[in-house]
Structure 1
Amino acid sequence: MASERAIEINQPGLATTVQDRGRVGYYDLGIPQGGALDQYSAELANALVGNVDGEALLECTYLGPALRALAPLDVAVTGAPVPVQVNGVEHPQWTRLSLAEGDELSFGYIGGGSRYYLAFSGGIDVPSVLGSRSTYLLGALGGFQGRKLAAGDVVPIGAPRALPPGSVVDPEHRPVFSRHQDVRVLLGLYDHRLTERGLANLVEEEWTLTPVADRAGLRYDGPGVEWRERVQPFGAGSDPSNIVDAGYAVGSIQIPGGTQPIVLHRDAVSGGGYAMVATVISADMDLVARAAPGTKTHFREVDLDTALLARKDRTQRLSAALASLT
């Protein structure tokens, strides 16, 4: 009888979840797009093991899992720098590895950034929910039983894919995990609610990522901002940043109380009553996801043309990295 294509979780790590490209089309119902926070790293992990259709993989946050292969499996680890060990022997990231039945894959302490990705040839074979296998923890939706992985879980792996000729992502195509970031933003919709000094603080001063950072949002500490005084309209709260409810774009920046900006990420709610003073451009959302607590950040104002060019450049860089493996 053939061995079951699956992995057994011996230790789950801090927050290991199943993710893919995301769940698109339900934002108006309050269900966020989800998916891997660092999509670039996730795509390259999948490409290394022949997954080309956005197959599901594991997203590991800070402390990774220890798992056992229940059959021969091809795996790749990308994203934040972390020691990769097979049966206690260290192996490189950004390359394809072959696990024999019974091999144990484990990880050391992360050396920068916050998240790394494990892709298995064939993908994580859990049911698709609303068009995606991504885990949405708040809604207990998708992924492996709608939750983080736990010790003892047996996670099925799909049928193996044809492996690409290239088995290593060249260093020139790997992202940088820096303690200093310039994050490009488009101002609006409510930047007019800030004073001149408040707006200058947002886009000219330095902000530091706090430990309050997860898949829904990342909170920064810094000089704070000033809000223009006004009589709050009917339906808005008393906080100076409150508005009558509005929809939130992924990447929206809120500053409740004028003190700590919050960048909403892929699992954030789709609307609420805080003013969005700026939005991180789509090309830099992977960059934000790579930040670790303590990362020094400057929010740099750009215009729409620059944002569109940045999105095109990101697409071209990913395409070049994928092409290098074929």
Structure 2
Amino acid sequence: MALRTEQPGLLTTVQDQGRIGYYNVGIPQGGAMDQESAQTANKLVGNTAAEAVLECTYMGPAFTVDAPTTIAVAGAQVPVLVNGQEQPPWTRLELAEGDAVTFGVLRGGARFYLAVRGGVDVPEVLGSRSTYAIGRLGGMGGRKLEAGDVVPVGCPTGELPAVTELPESLRPALGGAQELRIVWGLYDHLLTEEGRRRLVEEEWRLTPVADRMGLRYEGPGVEWIQREQPFGAGSDPSNIVDAGYAVGSIQVPGGTQPIVLHRDAVSGGGYAMVGTVISADMDLLARATPGTVTRFRAVPMEEALRARRERAARLQEIWAL
């Protein structure tokens, strides 16, 4: 079966758990920005966590199905309409041949995930179906969805779970201010004490410049120490000789607007990384909308590792339903 696209939405792409193992040659891991929501949608339709889904940003697609199928939508708060009738969120939905699915205006969050029983069955590229648009890899020919696209769906391999909707207690909170935990480094020593203080004690606000590569914030700015730049670095104090970037790295070009790198970011470059958002908070970051008031809070590595274990336990609880 397939989904026949009438309207593509603002930015709808095929994503899975990511393209692991090629960061050293400049290909980012990619995958769903909000991994927890993507996995939840897959759980509700009886897929494995690895199956590809549609990641829909701000505005969802409109499509019809050409055979009976099962879908689920998880993530941002968005009205799901089947033949014009609104359906409950975070719930498994059964569709008949010819049913039309559309989406209303977001009520909270930034991205939602559409899982189809059997998974989106586009070819794997370097071990993943995820779309990396800059590199033209994966998904629907390495690009976002377009009107007229026929999205293929695979054959189901697992049983439908007994649970048909995600309990309220396991659904993420959306909207409002955010606190993002970070660990310092590798180049925080290039900030003055005042610069470090501003980053973790002042408020920052997400700008509209926020996509799969990174999210830019505005706020009080930071201060860099005055130093003689090493050979090969740029003239700005935030420049370094090239280094690798971890997913979640925080750059502050020119000392003005921090940028947090997300799943499609380049793997290295010449800006100093003063800290890194911990892996457990990357899903939270993906749910932010422009204007979100944000505080960065520095934590020790022990807390970051504990948060990672807690996130893994929460995902395990979802898959155990």
Tell me the TM-score normalized by structure 1.
0.97
The unaligned stretches of length 5 or more in structure 2 are: none
- Give yes or no for contact 1:251–1:264 (8 Å, CA) kept in 2: yes
Moved over 2 A (4+): none
Which of 212, 230, 237 pairs up with 1:240?
237
| Partner of residue 143, structure 2 | 147
| Partner of residue 274, structure 2 | 277
Map of 1:215-230 to 2, 5 A cutoff?
A: 215-230=212-227
| Partner of residue 206, structure 1 | 203
- Give yes or no for contact 2:18–2:32 (8 Å, CA) kept in 1: yes
Q: What secondary structure is seen at the aligned counterpart in 1 of 2:77?
A: coil
Which of 183, 188, 191 pairs up with 2:185?
188
- 1:238 Cα deviation after fit: 1.1
| Partner of residue 23, structure 1 | 19
| Partner of residue 120, structure 1 | 116
Which whole-Å CA distance do the structure 1 matches of 2:63 and 2:257 have between them?
A: 38
- Give yes or no for contact 1:245–1:274 (8 Å, CA) kept in 2: yes
Map of 1:248-263 to 2, 5 A cutoff?
A: 248-263=245-260
Which whole-Å CA distance do the structure 2 matches of 1:309 and 1:162 have between them?
A: 33
- 1:177 Cα deviation after fit: 1.0
> Deviation per CA, 1:102-150, whole angstroms, max 9, x where unpaired?
0001000011111000000000000000000000000010011110000
- Give yes or no for contact 1:179–1:292 (8 Å, CA) kept in 2: no
Provide the aligned C-alpha RMSD in A: 0.6
- 1:53 Cα deviation after fit: 4.3
Map of 1:82-101 to 2, 5 A cutoff?
A: 82-101=78-97
> Deviation per CA, 1:160-209, whole angstroms, max 9, x where unpaired?
24211111100111111122000000000000100111100000000000
| Partner of residue 176, structure 2 | 179
- Give yes or no for contact 1:243–1:275 (8 Å, CA) kept in 2: yes
| Partner of residue 300, structure 1 | 297
| Count of aligned positions | 320
Q: Which segment is superposed worse, 46-55 or 14-23?
A: 46-55
| Partner of residue 44, structure 1 | 40
Which whole-Å CA distance do the structure 2 matches of 1:178 and 1:188 have between them?
A: 29
Which whole-Å CA distance do the structure 1 matches of 2:69 and 2:176 have between them?
A: 34
Corresponding letter in the other structure for 1:111: R
1:79 counterpart = 2:75? yes
Corresponding letter in the other structure for 2:310: D
- Give yes or no for contact 2:57–2:111 (8 Å, CA) kept in 1: yes
Which whole-Å CA distance do the structure 1 matches of 2:88 and 2:113 have between them?
A: 13
- Give yes or no for contact 2:43–2:49 (8 Å, CA) kept in 1: no
Which whole-Å CA distance do the structure 2 matches of 1:240 and 1:70 have between them?
A: 57
Map of 1:305-320 to 2, 5 A cutoff?
A: 305-320=302-317
Tell me the TM-score normalized by structure 2.
0.99
- Percent identical across equivalent pairs? 67
1:136 counterpart = 2:121? no
Q: What secondary structure is seen at the aligned counterpart in 1 of 2:205?
A: strand
1:166 counterpart = 2:163? yes
